[in-house]
């Protein structure tokens, strides 16, 4: 009896792992024939045909025409349609929650968002739930699930945000709550780690390199890809570099510490510094109106001295921490994403210069520091990519 139960369970597991292998092969190599899938996977043709029949039935694989004949009957070619499934990807930021319906090739099919203003705690959770419902109701294709990128310490195994300072979330079971609400699988990861997955999966990068993706926005955090996998660390907090102390007796940080990187190099810190200095700089265009993210960027672009000073000064402590990360990981690729990248090449150059001066020259010369290639939706894309891995077994080139 027990032996029969075990055999059944083993059979089910084998079947599932074959299904994932075949789907991934068609996703990566398609259009491809059944014989081609058998060759690429080492599975028998009968097993491949069996599995493909189920995948076609479930709409995950389509027959898309005939390949060239190699003497006998021309083979039917298979591929995974980009819109066979959609995924909900969400970026929970400190002032705004943005979400998107993403297809299996990382194309965004629709978007929705909610401003948080000063709402946090339960109010922010309510906004997240309402946004997710809006997107799931708008979906025109079958949904594979919901991926969430959230700031702070996230326990992906239980779907819980352990601590997100800016949102005042402590031990919030975001994943289980959204699953209960929608009946869909939910994956939740740290937002910088999601950004790293987004760049890795859908950006233009050398897949053989280790990669550090640093998100510099309202807060600062990094995601680390090593050997084609997201490295989350023993306590899930790998990449939480925003709270590294960089200024002795520096400004008080929301984490309770002082002089953290976030207090001098984040967008929030840069805006605060500009507000402090603007009173002493009546000639600055910043003195003429409300100081916002957009007015600071415009002033920076027109060469306003104060705007350039506060933005470029903020690049120095960031560059120092990047130098330490490159030295620790020996990564060749560093990608910067997030709101501060709006300051473009001059900011990037300042970060590069400081990084070069803060680490072993040879190591930095071998590495490349550049801006992300996936744009402002990088967290939504990365959260969707995580889900494609966990739900469908679709991984990305290693």
Please say which residue, 114 or 316, places its beta carbon nearer to Zn ion: 316
Please say which residue, 91 or 240, places its beta carbon nearer to Zn ion: 240
Please say which residue, 123 or 255, places its beta carbon nearer to Zn ion: 255
Question: Where would I find the beta strands (DSSP E) of the chain?
Answer: 32-33, 62-66, 76-79, 86-92, 96-103, 108-115, 143-150, 153-155, 160-164, 169-172, 186-190, 211-216, 220-226, 229-231, 333-337, 368-371
Is residue 255 part of the contact set for Zn ion (CB under 5 A)? Answer: yes
Stretch that binds Zn ion, among 114-122, 192-200, 254-262, 273-281 (CB under 5 A): 254-262
Is residue 257 part of the contact set for Zn ion (CB under 5 A)? Answer: yes
Please say which residue, 96 or 258, places its beta carbon nearer to Zn ion: 258
Close Cβ partners of 219 (under 8 Å, ≥ 6 residues apart): 94, 151, 166, 242, 262, 266, 268
Is residue 268 part of the contact set for Zn ion (CB under 5 A)? Answer: no
Question: Closest separation between CB of residue 260 and Zn ion, Å?
Answer: 3
Question: Closest separation between CB of residue 263 and Zn ion, Å?
Answer: 7
Question: Closest separation between CB of residue 262 and Zn ion, Å?
Answer: 6
Is residue 251 part of the contact set for Zn ion (CB under 5 A)? Answer: no
Question: Closest separation between CB of residue 265 and Zn ion, Å?
Answer: 12
Tell me which residue of 376, 390, 386 sits closest to 230, measured CA to CA. 386
Distance CA 54, CA 57 (A): 5
Question: Closest separation between CB of residue 168 and Zn ion, Å?
Answer: 15
Please say which residue, 9 or 247, places its beta carbon nearer to Zn ion: 247
Is residue 260 part of the contact set for Zn ion (CB under 5 A)? Answer: yes
Distance CA 170, CA 160 (A): 9
Please say which residue, 252 or 275, places its beta carbon nearer to Zn ion: 252
3-state secondary structure of 81: coil
Question: Closest separation between CB of residue 197 and Zn ion, Å?
Answer: 24
Residue 33 C-beta-side C-alpha neighbours within 13 Å: 13
Given phi > 0 = left and psi -120 to 50 = alpha, else beta, which region is 344? left
Q: Where are the alpha helices (DSSP H) in 30-144?
A: 34-41, 45-57, 121-138
Please say which residue, 245 or 293, places its beta carbon nearer to Zn ion: 245
Please say which residue, 260 or 364, places its beta carbon nearer to Zn ion: 260
Question: Closest separation between CB of residue 56 and Zn ion, Å?
Answer: 52
Number of residues counted as binding Zn ion (CB under 5 A): 5
Is residue 34 part of the contact set for Zn ion (CB under 5 A)? Answer: no
Question: Closest separation between CB of residue 257 and Zn ion, Å?
Answer: 4
Distance CA 258, CA 263 (A): 8
Residue 136, token pair as written in the block? 């799931």
Instruction: Yes or no: say if 325 and 223 are a contact pair by the CB < 8 Å rule.
Output: no
Compose the 62-101 pattern: x for residues touching Zn ion by CB under 5 A, - for all others: ----------------------------------------
DSSP string, 274-335: HHHHHTT-TTSGGGGS---HHHHHHHHHTT-HHHHHHHHHHHHHHHHHHHHHHHHH--SEEE
Is residue 253 part of the contact set for Zn ion (CB under 5 A)? Answer: yes
The values of phi and psi at residue 345, to 5°, are: -60, -45
Is residue 24 part of the contact set for Zn ion (CB under 5 A)? Answer: no
Question: Closest separation between CB of residue 319 and Zn ion, Å?
Answer: 19
Please say which residue, 197 or 264, places its beta carbon nearer to Zn ion: 264
Instruction: Yes or no: say if 388 and 106 are a contact pair by the CB < 8 Å rule.
Output: no
Is residue 316 part of the contact set for Zn ion (CB under 5 A)? Answer: no
Residues 217-246, interacting with Zn ion (CB under 5 A): 243
Please say which residue, 177 or 258, places its beta carbon nearer to Zn ion: 258
Distance CA 147, CA 99 (A): 10
Question: Closest separation between CB of residue 252 and Zn ion, Å?
Answer: 9
Binding site for Zn ion (CB under 5 A): 243, 253, 255, 257, 260
């Amino acid at each position: 009896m027990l032996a029969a139960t075990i055999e059944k369970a083993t059979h089910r597991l084998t079947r599932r792992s074959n299904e994932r292998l075949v789907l991934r092969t068609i996703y990566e190599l398609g259009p491809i024939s059944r014989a081609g899938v058998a060759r690429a996977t080492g599975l028998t043709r009968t097993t491949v045909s069996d599995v493909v029949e189920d995948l076609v039935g479930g709409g995950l694989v389509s027959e898309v025409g005939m390949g060239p004949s190699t003497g006998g009957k021309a083979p039917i070619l298979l591929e995974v349609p980009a819109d066979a499934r959609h995924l909900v990807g969400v970026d929970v930021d400190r002032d705004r929650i943005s979400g998107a319906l993403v297809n299996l090739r990382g194309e965004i099919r629709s978007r929705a968002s909610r401003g948080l203003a000063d709402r946090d705690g339960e109010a922010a959770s309510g906004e997240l739930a309402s946004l997710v419902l809006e997107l799931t109701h708008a979906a025109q294709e079958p949904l594979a699930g919901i991926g969430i990128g959230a700031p702070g310490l996230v326990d992906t195994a239980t779907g819980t945000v352990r601590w997100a300072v800016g949102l005042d979330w402590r031990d919030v079971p975001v994943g289980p709550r959204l699953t209960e609400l929608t009946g869909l699988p939910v994956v939740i990861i740290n937002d910088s780690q999601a950004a790293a997955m987004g760049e890795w999966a859908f950006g233009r990068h050398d897949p053989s390199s280790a990669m550090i993706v640093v998100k510099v926005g309202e807060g600062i955090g990094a995601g680390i890809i090593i050997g084609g996998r997201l490295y989350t660390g023993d306590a899930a907090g790998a990449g939480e570099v925003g709270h590294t102390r960089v200024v002795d007796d520096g400004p008080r940080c929301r984490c309770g510490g002082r002089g953290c990187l976030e207090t001098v190099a984040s967008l929030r810190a840069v805006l605060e510094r500009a507000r402090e200095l603007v009173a002493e700089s009546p000639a600055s265009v910043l003195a003429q109106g409300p100081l916002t993210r957009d007015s600071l960027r415009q002033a920076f672009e027109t060469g306003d001295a104060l705007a350039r000073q506060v933005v470029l000064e903020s690049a120095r402590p960031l560059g120092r921490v990047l130098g330490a990360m490159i030295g620790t990981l020996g990564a060749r690729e560093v990608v910067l994403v997030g709101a501060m990248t709006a300051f473009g090449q001059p900011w990037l150059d300042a970060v590069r210069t400081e990084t070069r001066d803060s680490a072993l020259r040879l190591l930095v010369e071998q590495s490349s520091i550049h801006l992300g290639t996936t744009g402002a939706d990088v967290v939504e894309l990365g959260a969707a990519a995580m889900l494609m891995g966990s739900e469908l077994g679709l991984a990305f080139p290693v």
